[in-house]
């Protein structure tokens, strides 16, 4: 009635409305505007026609891609599609361009909005078609057709691909097939493929195998050979290689010689070196750092608490005192029998901690700390797991004994070390009685050499030096990390020695380079572009052994071209060369370290689990998998075993002291007897955590001609396999298995991240040992000090370990310290003693009726019962003992079996029957 309104809508500006126009005029105006808008839209489309067609063709090809749609390949397409959508496609009016054009541009818009789904669909389509297309190739490239998992790993070609190749899963077949596939499929020329291995023989074998299987001549190289070539290309010649670079023994000897030379200079450095050996060689932990006696004793036994004089002491603080006395020329005896006989104690002879030879002064070190009370007095207290009242009473008794017999006693206390004045306070207390005659530095060092403490320290310094260089660390980095980790004075003392050793080592290179220099120099040349890489595919074998410096070189080569792929094959379960610089975290965080980026997501990569093992039967394969996955940080993998065991495949054989050779012969005799008369000789691989456990293999071979017997350390056995594996000396201790001297906490200063799980690397070493076996695994372990690994395997039914041959490993807990009570042959029959025999000393006889088992106290009762059925009255004075009938000056009584350690007793009621209940005998029918 009042006219027509025309509204103009714009995406960039507010709507504009014209009111009161004539109806006819408004419609004509609207039509002309719409036509003009259509012409603008069509003109814009026409101007971008070529660009649109190109993008559309590539997007549509993702439905059936001819090449693997890796992130690095699709990311540029996504960038182009989103740019076109933002500048044009999102602004087009559907009515203006028409339904056909809308349908035509829809794939680009959908891809731009949901690229991950499009790429995932493209990957799935490509893999399915490619597996079918190359079926004949996969069937014939190796002697046996590749498994589905192996085929998948070959056709997957992500920015970074990690192939999880468990023990015996055919990783070499995968690398061989991958290299041949890349060339035969026309994806790469042979000179664009880089094959990397860690050892010369592995590289040589890989090169020969690729060419023999595929006819493709691709030369595999070690990291060091590649780095050396890069340096030669950039510098025009290759610098000389240090003599010790290829000889670990020569390298360790060089470190030892540097230490000797630094000591002889009689400088501040020589003092720092002596201080290290005297006071910081072992971890400075005391009983206050542990919650239980068992944990404390276990730690102490893992440390070599040997003084400069040569004896082993029972605590770190005693070690400090003994070494201070030795440094200052004060002759002493450790734990001598007190010169006066103290009668009627019922205990063993009193042995003070130290007696000074010249002056006759005694020193007792008391493990107590002190607390200031509100009234100003002091309260002494012990570690939580030590009976404070009993300990303080023992202190008073020792003070009384010296006062009673007129001997001089110097007392030191744990709180003095806590307050930083243990040794200075000792010097003040001894000043009236002794004259200090400090021994010359070189004399002390010669003593250290005699004790063979320099050997292990030189290895530690060498490992630290290599990791320090390869990781590009500085001393400031190490000091800062030490502060963050609260490693204390020990780390500072170590760095005081390492700094001059490293400086001297660098001087002695004299223009030559070591392997660490070689890798890092090559990496810098690649990072700065002075070296231009021709490689587009980098294939890395044994990836679990990669170090930070090698990873840096790979990353530098990858960064030179946007389409470079990294194809890594390895098994984090077999990462056992941390001492040589390998860093397992590079594999665990493979995506973030080597992956690409796509649609805002970083670390894009693909992992393929080979799963199937061609080596071990089910019992061994599954037990090894369960064992290594106790560490939750290990990457979980499925395992398909090589076969089904028809008899127990894993067995523990317990060995008494001195019976190692005899037990090994028994096991070999059993294997030899089981071999078929005319069959091919069975292979037997003897494995040891250390080389010193190697038996006389030649003699064994002559005695058992039906068997092919060889010996390797577990580290040297990587890649090997045998019908039967025998693991030797699976015992506890510093040089047992797990080894307790492998990973010094100081190495964490030059490691990106410390592994939190106990014995993480040693557990992987055990996995390697287990998975060398095809049919059987036999573990020889001490019946007194079995390895914690052996105990775990035996106690957990999940491992399916056969009942051990020989003496059964007893699972009794020590009532004194919570360690294990182990059965051994005693002078008067079988006895059970605590595993911490040097510290705890708890010892119990076997049951007097059966002579083999150990009676145990029954909760809620006052008796101890043996498995044979015999029962005894529980001792009222201790946690472990029971009462047996004894005779004294006043007749018969009941006394504790732990006498004289425990003096618990009870009367025999007049006319009562024996307190001991004999086991019931079974009647025969």
* Predicted pLDDT of residue 607: 94
> For the ranges 118-127, 298-307, 553-562, which has the lowest average pLDDT?
298-307
Assess if residue 222 is contained within a domain.
yes
Assess if residue 255 is contained within a domain.
yes
Global pTM? 0.77
The arithmetic mean of pLDDT across residues 187-209, rounded, is 90
Assess if residue 912 is contained within a domain.
no
> For the ranges 40-44, 124-128, 416-420, 592-596, which has the lowest average pLDDT?
40-44
Name the band, by pLDDT with cuts 50, 70 and 90, for residue 914: low
Asked if residue 328 and residue 420 are part of one domain, the reply reads: yes
Asked if residue 698 and residue 683 are part of one domain, the reply reads: yes
Burial of 773 per CB tally in 10 Å (0-12, 13-18, 19+): buried
Assess if residue 626 is contained within a domain.
no
Asked if residue 800 and residue 671 are part of one domain, the reply reads: yes
C-alpha distances in Å from residue 893, one per residue of 271, 866, 878, 906: 62, 22, 17, 6
CATH number, domain of 313, equals 3.40.960.10
The distance of Cα 262 from the centroid of its chain, to the nearest Å, equals: 34
pLDDT at 38 over 50: yes
Residue 37 phi, psi dihedral angles, 5° rounding = -65, -40
Asked if residue 598 and residue 500 are part of one domain, the reply reads: no
How many other CB atoms are there within 10 angstroms of residue 252's CB atom?
A: 18
Assess if residue 623 is contained within a domain.
no
**Nearest of 231, 220, 217, 175 to residue 197 by alpha carbon:** 220
Instruction: Specify whether the CB–CB gap between 95 and 35 falls below 8 A.
Output: no
Assess if residue 129 is contained within a domain.
no
Rounded (10°) angle between helices 422-430 and 316-327: 50
Question: In whole angstroms, what is the distance from residue 820 CA to residue 816 CA?
Answer: 10
3-state class of 795 per DSSP? helix
* Cross-strand partners of 652: 779
Question: In whole angstroms, what is the distance from residue 567 CA to residue 844 CA?
Answer: 60
Question: In whole angstroms, what is the distance from residue 726 CA to residue 743 CA?
Answer: 25
Name the band, by pLDDT with cuts 50, 70 and 90, for residue 259: very high
3-state class of 602 per DSSP? strand
Determine whether the annotation assigns residue 170 to a binding site. yes
The arithmetic mean of pLDDT across residues 316-334, rounded, is 95
* Predicted pLDDT of residue 743: 65
Asked if residue 296 and residue 224 are part of one domain, the reply reads: no
Name the band, by pLDDT with cuts 50, 70 and 90, for residue 912: very low
As a dihedral over the C-alpha atoms of residue 848, residue 853, residue 858, residue 861, rounded to 10 degrees, the angle is: -10
**Nearest of 746, 341, 782, 770 to residue 579 by alpha carbon:** 746
* Predicted pLDDT of residue 349: 83
Number of domain units in the chain: 6
Asked if residue 451 and residue 430 are part of one domain, the reply reads: no
Determine whether the annotation assigns residue 732 to a binding site. no
Which tens digits make up the pLDDT trace of 840-875? 888 899 998 888 888 988 877 888 888 888 899 999
Question: In whole angstroms, what is the distance from residue 879 CA to residue 283 CA?
Answer: 32
C-alpha distances in Å from residue 181, one per residue of 169, 185, 197, 281: 19, 6, 19, 54
C-alpha distances in Å from residue 831, one per residue of 289, 815, 825, 898: 32, 15, 6, 11
* Predicted pLDDT of residue 347: 62
Assess if residue 923 is contained within a domain.
no
Pairing of strands 891-896, 905-906: antiparallel
How many other CB atoms are there within 10 angstroms of residue 645's CB atom?
A: 17
Which tens digits make up the pLDDT trace of 133-180? 999 999 999 888 999 999 999 999 999 999 998 877 888 889 999 999
Determine whether the annotation assigns residue 172 to a binding site. yes
Asked if residue 790 and residue 706 are part of one domain, the reply reads: yes
Name the band, by pLDDT with cuts 50, 70 and 90, for residue 754: low
pLDDT at 825 over 80: no
Question: In whole angstroms, what is the distance from residue 96 CA to residue 758 CA?
Answer: 70
* Predicted pLDDT of residue 915: 58
Show the tokens assigned to 762. 């040693």
Question: In whole angstroms, what is the distance from residue 340 CA to residue 427 CA?
Answer: 26
Name the band, by pLDDT with cuts 50, 70 and 90, for residue 218: confident
Asked if residue 378 and residue 429 are part of one domain, the reply reads: yes
* Predicted pLDDT of residue 922: 45
pLDDT at 917 over 80: no
Show the tokens assigned to 834. 């605590």
Name the band, by pLDDT with cuts 50, 70 and 90, for residue 62: very high
Question: In whole angstroms, what is the distance from residue 257 CA to residue 263 CA?
Answer: 10
Distant-in-sequence, close-in-space partners of 268: CB < 8 Å, separation ≥ 6: none
* Better-scored residue on pLDDT, 710 or 488: 710
Phi/psi class of residue 804: alpha, beta or left (left: φ > 0; alpha: ψ in -120 to 50)?
beta
C-alpha distances in Å from residue 521, one per residue of 229, 508, 548, 826: 11, 18, 14, 63
Assess if residue 819 is contained within a domain.
no
pLDDT at 614 over 80: no
Helix%, strand%, coil% for the chain, nearest 5: 45, 20, 35
Burial of 425 per CB tally in 10 Å (0-12, 13-18, 19+): middle
Asked if residue 265 and residue 159 are part of one domain, the reply reads: no
> For the ranges 246-255, 413-422, 521-530, which has the lowest average pLDDT?
246-255
- Structural domain of 852: 829-906
Instruction: Specify whether the CB–CB gap between 884 and 847 falls below 8 A.
Output: no
Asked if residue 291 and residue 421 are part of one domain, the reply reads: yes
For the chain, give the mean pLDDT. Answer: 88
**Nearest of 810, 822, 819 to residue 785 by alpha carbon:** 822
Residue 256 phi, psi dihedral angles, 5° rounding = -60, -40
Asked if residue 519 and residue 505 are part of one domain, the reply reads: no
* Better-scored residue on pLDDT, 725 or 637: 725
Name the band, by pLDDT with cuts 50, 70 and 90, for residue 803: low
Which tens digits make up the pLDDT trace of 269-296? 898 999 989 998 888 888 888 989 998 9
Determine whether the annotation assigns residue 168 to a binding site. yes
Asked if residue 488 and residue 594 are part of one domain, the reply reads: no
CATH number, domain of 682, equals 3.40.50.300
């Amino acid at each position: 009635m009042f006219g027509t309104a025309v509204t103009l809508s714009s995406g960039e500006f507010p709507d504009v409305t014209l009111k009161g126009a004539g109806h006819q005029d408004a419609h004509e105006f609207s039509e002309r505007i719409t036509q003009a808008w259509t012409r603008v839209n069509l003109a814009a489309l026409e101007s971008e026609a070529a660009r649109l067609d190109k993008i559309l063709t590539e997007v549509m090809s993702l439905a059936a891609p001819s090449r693997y749609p890796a992130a690095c390949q699709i990311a540029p397409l996504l960038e182009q599609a989103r740019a076109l959508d933002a500048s044009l496609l999102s602004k087009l009016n559907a009515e203006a361009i028409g339904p056909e054009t809308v349908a035509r541009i829809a794939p680009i818009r959908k891809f731009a909005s949901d690229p991950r789904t499009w790429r995932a669909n493209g990957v799935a389509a490509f893999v399915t078609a490619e597996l079918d297309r190359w079926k004949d190739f996969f069937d014939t490239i190796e002697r046996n057709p590749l498994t589905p998992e192996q085929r998948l790993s070959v056709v997957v070609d992500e920015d970074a691909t990690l192939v999880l190749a468990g023990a015996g899963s055919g990783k070499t077949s995968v690398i061989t097939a991958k290299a041949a596939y890349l060339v035969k499929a026309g994806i790469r020329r042979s000179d664009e493929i880089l094959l990397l291995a860690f050892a010369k023989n592995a590289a040589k074998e890989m090169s020969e195998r690729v060419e023999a299987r595929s006819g493709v001549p691709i030369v595999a190289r070690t990291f060091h050979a590649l780095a050396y070539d890069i340096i030669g290309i950039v510098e025009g010649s290759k610098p000389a290689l240090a003599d010790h670079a290829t000889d670990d023994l020569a390298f360790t000897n060089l470190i030892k010689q540097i230490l000797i030379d630094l000591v002889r200079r009689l400088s501040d450095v020589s003092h720092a070196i002596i201080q290290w050996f005297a006071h910081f060689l072992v971890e400075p932990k005391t009983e206050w750092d542990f919650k239980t006696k068992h944990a404390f004793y276990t730690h102490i036994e893992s440390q070599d608490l040997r003084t400069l004089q040569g004896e082993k002491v029972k605590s770190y603080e005693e070690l400090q005192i003994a070494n201070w006395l030795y440094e200052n020329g004060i002759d002493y005896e450790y734990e001598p029998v007190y010169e006066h006989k103290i009668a009627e104690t019922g205990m063993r002879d009193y042995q003070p901690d130290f007696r000074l030879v010249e002056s006759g002064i005694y020193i007792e070190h008391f493990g107590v700390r002190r607390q200031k009370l509100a009234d100003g007095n002091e309260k002494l207290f012990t570690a939580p797991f030590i009976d404070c009242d009993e300990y303080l009473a023992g202190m008073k008794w020792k003070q009384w004994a010296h006062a009673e017999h007129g001997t001089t006693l110097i007392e030191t206390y744990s709180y003095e070390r806590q307050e930083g004045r243990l040794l200075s306070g000792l010097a003040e207390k001894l000043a009236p009685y002794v004259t200090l005659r400090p021994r010359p530095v070189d004399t002390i060092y010669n003593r250290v050499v005699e004790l063979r403490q320099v050997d292990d320290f030189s290895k530690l310094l060498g490992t630290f030096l290599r990791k320090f260089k390869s990781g590009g660390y500085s001393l400031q980095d190490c000091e800062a990390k030490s502060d963050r980790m609260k490693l204390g004075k020990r780390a500072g003392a170590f760095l005081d020695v390492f700094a001059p050793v490293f400086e001297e080592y660098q001087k002695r290179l004299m223009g030559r380079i070591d392997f660490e220099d070689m890798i890092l120099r090559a990496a810098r040349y690649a990072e700065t572009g002075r070296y231009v890489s021709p490689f587009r595919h980098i294939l890395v074998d044994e990836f679990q052994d990669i170090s930070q410096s090698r990873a840096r070189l790979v990353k530098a080569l990858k960064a030179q071209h946007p389409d470079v792929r990294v194809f890594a094959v390895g098994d984090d379960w077999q990462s056992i060369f941390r001492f040589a610089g390998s860093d397992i975290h590079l594999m665990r965080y493979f995506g973030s370290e080597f992956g690409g980026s796509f649609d805002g997501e970083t670390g894009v990569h693909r992992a393929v689990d080979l799963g199937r093992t061609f080596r071990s039967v089910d019992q061994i394969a599954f037990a090894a998998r369960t064992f290594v996955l106790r560490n939750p940080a290990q990457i979980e993998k499925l395992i398909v075993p090589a076969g089904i065991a028809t008899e127990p495949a894993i067995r523990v054989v317990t060995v008494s002291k001195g019976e190692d050779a005899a037990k090994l012969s028994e096991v070999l005799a059993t294997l030899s007897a089981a071999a078929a008369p005319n069959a091919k000789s069975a292979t037997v691989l003897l494995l040891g955590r250390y080389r010193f456990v190697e038996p006389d293999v030649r003699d064994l071979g002559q005695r058992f001609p039906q068997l092919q017997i060889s010996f390797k350390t577990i580290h040297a056995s990587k890649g090997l396999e045998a019908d039967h594996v025998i693991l030797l000396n699976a015992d506890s201790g510093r040089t047992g298995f797990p080894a307790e001297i492998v990973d010094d906490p100081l190495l964490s200063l030059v490691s990106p991240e410390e592994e939190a799980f106990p014995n993480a690397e040693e557990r992987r070493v055990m996995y390697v040992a287990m998975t060398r076996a095809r049919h059987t695994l036999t573990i020889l372990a001490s019946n007194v000090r079995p390895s914690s690994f052996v105990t775990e395997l035996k106690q957990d039914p999940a491992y399916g370990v056969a009942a051990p041959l020989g003496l059964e490993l007893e699972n009794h807990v020590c009532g004194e310290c919570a360690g294990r009570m182990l059965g051994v042959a005693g002078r008067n029959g079988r006895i059970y003693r605590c595993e911490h025999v040097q510290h705890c000393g708890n010892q119990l006889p076997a049951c007097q009726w059966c002579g083999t088992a150990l009676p145990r106290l029954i909760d809620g009762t006052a008796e101890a019962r043996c498995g044979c059925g015999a029962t005894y009255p529980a001792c009222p004075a201790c946690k472990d003992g029971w009462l047996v009938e004894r005779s004294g000056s006043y007749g018969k009584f009941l006394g504790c079996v732990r006498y004289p350690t425990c003096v618990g007793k009870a009367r025999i009621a007049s006319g009562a029957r024996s307190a001991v209940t004999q086991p019931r005998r079974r009647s025969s029918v």
